[in-house]
Structure 1
Amino acid sequence: MIVDVLMYLLLGAAMGTLGGLFGIGGGLVAIPALGVLFGLDQQLAQGTALLMVLPNVLLALWRYNQRNRVSVRHALMLIVPSFTMSWLTSLWAVRVDPQIMRLGFVGFLVVLTLFNLIQMVWRNGTVGAELRHIRWLWLLGLGSGVTAGLFGVGGGVIATPILTGLFGATQVAAQGLALALAAPSTTITLATYALHGHVDWLMGIPLAIGGLASISWGVALAHSLPERVLRSLFCGFLVICAIMLCSKL
């Protein structure tokens, strides 16, 4: 039992560092890791990952806001539609066949990876503190809410590349906004999964503690890396996650 707890703490620390680095709370790596390493079905892996992700997201948001102030106005335009869609789609997701969910998650990662690669090669426009096309932020909130409810990830994974590519935000500013977007949707999605028995609390709590202990390192590293390096690492990270999940199909 003690060995298991220590293993979960170390795994949570690794996931927390990655979550801070990429502004995703660690859930994207936790879900394939829990499915591949521990044999959890897709919904249980997502629910347990959400338990780890929520405190990580809150701490990472606080750290990002200290270094790069998050716009409350922009955050609210993302949060309100995202929260609503996360709740509605999570009610449906907990009833879907786990294998179908896993296949959908792999497809989601593939599309996301291609989008990021295309964006790196053909990105147009300049980046800065002021966002472009602000009136369309609510659409991004809707889309992020759908993926958060279905797959347990949304804010950092969906919002970050779109905020940089289409709205002209810097990578760091986008990751801060994405964390603000993720906090409420992660809360309601976790509550839905927990009510339907899709959370392993004995595993998730040590993962969360490990993540909290390490996520600040990832945030500090994110602010020290060049923009293109950070984006390249994020793309590579997505590819690895997709490969891990494909091995279980």
Structure 2
Amino acid sequence: MDFAYPLAGFAVGAIVGITGVGGGSLMTPLLVLLFGIHPAVAVGTDLLYAAITKAGGTLAHSLKGTVDWKITRLLATGSIPAAAITLVLVTNFAPGGLKGASQVISYALGVALLLTAAALVLRKKIQAFALRHAPATPNPRRTEVLTVVTGAILGVLVSISSVGAGALGVTALFLLYPALPAIRVVGSDIAHAVPLTLVAGLGHWWLGEIDWKLLGSLLVGSLPGIWLGSQVSVKIPERVLRPLLALMLVLVGAKLIAR
């Protein structure tokens, strides 16, 4: 089974490299459903896994100048406090803490996967809708407030399910900033995912919900997987990949909700 963890990391890393979808929507349900890892431990371990793997993506986007640091800061202003508060509330008020809230975590993960699937399928339509309905004179203050609120929602979702910082974050930014180039939306979202998943992951570590051996095994496979996926991504049509990935997320999400 130890060998299966790097293999799973490689598979998820390759898919992330090809599609750009965050590992949380794939890795956490894989750990829960296939390997039988406790949901709280799976979420905590995957959060640090995401922070490490997306740090490289942030560096690459930063060097290319495709990160809007103002947007990243606004998202983090809402998400990091929300993630910390959510972990504190779950620990103090859920029976048995995070481990006792396994059913809630599984349900939240399932809902997050369904939302991610919808975001994957409808992303271009959502962006086109936002462009059509964008006001002639945007209100920068209103957009900033909504960005902070969006960050807070992502912080709650990510801290308990590890899902949401990727596809959901990008979709929300397309709505808020329809005129922003797609590459800058993606780069800003990846940059925001690093501090969010790091803070949430450290919170899970403080609560004792990290399996360090599992984390290391996943990274051994995922790092070369991400590199390989990024190399072959240009050869696989996105119109084929995204619907298949969305279908898989719907099936997994429904199974988690029904557990």
Indicate the TM-score class for this superposition, using the shorter chain for normalisation. Answer: 0.7 to 0.9
The answer to whether residue 129 in structure 2 is matched with residue 124 in structure 1 is yes
Q: CA deviation at 1:185?
A: 1.1
Identity score, percent: 24
Verify the 8 A CA contact 1:82 1:141 in the aligned structure 2.
yes
- Equivalence for 2:94: none
Question: Which one of 137, 143, 146 corresponds to residue 153 of structure 2?
Answer: 143
In structure 2, relative to structure 1, the CA distance for the partners of 1:139 and 1:20 (3 Å cut) is farther
In structure 2, relative to structure 1, the CA distance for the partners of 1:125 and 1:46 (3 Å cut) is closer
The answer to whether residue 193 in structure 2 is matched with residue 182 in structure 1 is yes
Find the aligned partners of 2:231 and 2:186 in 1 and give their Cα distance: 13
Q: CA deviation at 1:111?
A: 3.4
- Equivalence for 2:79: 82
The answer to whether residue 58 in structure 2 is matched with residue 54 in structure 1 is no
- Equivalence for 1:36: 33
The answer to whether residue 248 in structure 2 is matched with residue 242 in structure 1 is no
**Aligned letter for 1:110?**
L
Verify the 8 A CA contact 1:90 1:149 in the aligned structure 2.
yes
Task: Give the root-mean-square deviation of aligned CA atoms.
Answer: 2.9
- Equivalence for 2:111: 107
TM-score by length of 2: 0.78
**Aligned letter for 2:29?**
P
Question: Which one of 164, 170, 182 corresponds to residue 160 of structure 1?
Answer: 170
Q: CA deviation at 1:232?
A: 4.1
Q: CA deviation at 1:156?
A: 0.9
In structure 2, relative to structure 1, the CA distance for the partners of 1:204 and 1:117 (3 Å cut) is same
Find the aligned partners of 2:241 and 2:147 in 1 and give their Cα distance: 23
Moved more, 113-122 or 222-231: 222-231
Q: CA deviation at 1:226?
A: 6.6
Secondary structure at the aligned position of 2:209 is classed as coil
Moved more, 20-29 or 9-18: 20-29
Moved more, 221-230 or 14-23: 221-230
Q: CA deviation at 1:233?
A: 5.5
Q: CA deviation at 1:172?
A: 3.7
In structure 2, relative to structure 1, the CA distance for the partners of 1:77 and 1:221 (3 Å cut) is farther
Verify the 8 A CA contact 1:172 1:222 in the aligned structure 2.
no
Find the aligned partners of 2:65 and 2:228 in 1 and give their Cα distance: 16
Give unmatched runs, 5+ long, in structure 1: none
**Aligned letter for 2:115?**
V
Verify the 8 A CA contact 1:171 1:227 in the aligned structure 2.
no
**Aligned letter for 1:189?**
A
In structure 2, relative to structure 1, the CA distance for the partners of 1:65 and 1:53 (3 Å cut) is same
Find the aligned partners of 1:46 and 1:145 in 2 and give their Cα distance: 13
Verify the 8 A CA contact 1:12 1:52 in the aligned structure 2.
no
Verify the 8 A CA contact 1:119 1:165 in the aligned structure 2.
no
Verify the 8 A CA contact 2:28 2:43 in the aligned structure 1.
yes
Find the aligned partners of 1:92 and 1:55 in 2 and give their Cα distance: 26
TM-score by length of 1: 0.81
Find the aligned partners of 2:189 and 2:235 in 1 and give their Cα distance: 19
Max Rg structure? 2
